[in-house]
Amino acid sequence: MADKTALMVYGGYEPHQPKQTVEVFAPLLEAAGFDVTLSDTMDSYLDRDLMHSLSLVVPCWTMGQIEGDQERGLREAVESGVGLGGWHGGMCDSFRNATGYQMMTGGQFVGHPDGIKEYTVQITRKDDPIVSGLSDFHMHSEQYYMHTDPGNEVLATTTFDAQSAPWVNGTVMPVVWKRVWGEGKVFYSSLGHVATDFEVEEAKEIQRRGLLWAAR
């Protein structure tokens, strides 16, 4: 087994292109020296020996349901030091009834006013290596409105200007954050509604750096 190993688990809501988005980053992890395994079942989380041997888990499963033993296997692995990193609904709109999972990831999607729209991502922690050297950039995608943990270390934000929900206008919303869960590091970016979102180089580079940062 390679010194660095990653498990990428994908499935759920097909319009989020779970397999296609995972396939954007699997080669980048391999290029960074990871032995990458792709899985289309959350039963992978039940294999304790596998889970605790990993450097990184990348969940990409939107609007599904995780069973108690599956969630426990994932959470215990991260608590033991396995990194966790993901994007958009694949990580933070996965299991709407699993509050323990949400507590670990640091946020939960609750809406995207106006649907697909133009918006700006502002880099707020320019000294952090995950976003250093990058400037504010534009996205044409869903602008995620989220409930987030105040303990997150926020690296980038977006400011809402929504025609369909003007009462949220001016709200500054976290887009990219990092945190810890036990001995594990957790990284999240709300960008990545579909695979082509990562044709925006800043979105792709932030995600790449974030996954490498999270990995033990």
CA–CA separation, 22 and 34 (whole Å): 14
Q: Is 87 helix (H, G, I), strand (E, B) or coil?
A: strand
d(C-alpha 27, C-alpha 14), whole Å: 21
- The strand pair at 4-12 and 34-39 is best described as parallel
Report yes or no: 36 and 25 within 8 Å, Cβ to Cβ: no
> What is the residue extent of each domain of the chain?
4-214
Q: Which CATH superfamily is domain 4-214 in?
A: Class I glutamine amidotransferase (GATase) domain (3.40.50.880)
Reported pTM: 0.97
Q: What distances in angstroms separate CA 162 from CA 159, 183, 191, 197, 213, one per listed residue? A: 10, 39, 18, 20, 33
Cβ contact 111:96 at 8 Å: no
182-203: burial string, b at 16+ Cβ within 10 Å, e else: eebbbbbbbbbbbbebbebebb
- Residue 1: per-residue pLDDT: 47
Whole-angstrom distance, CA of residue 17 vs CA of residue 23: 10
pLDDT tens across the length of the chain (216 residues): 468 999 999 999 999 999 999 999 999 999 999 999 999 999 999 999 999 999 999 999 999 999 999 999 999 999 999 999 999 999 999 999 999 999 999 999 999 999 999 999 999 999 999 999 999 999 999 999 999 999 999 999 999 999 999 999 999 999 999 999 999 999 999 999 999 999 999 999 999 999 999 999
pLDDT at position 2: 64
List beta partners, residue 143.
Answer: none
Residue 202: its pLDDT value, please?
98
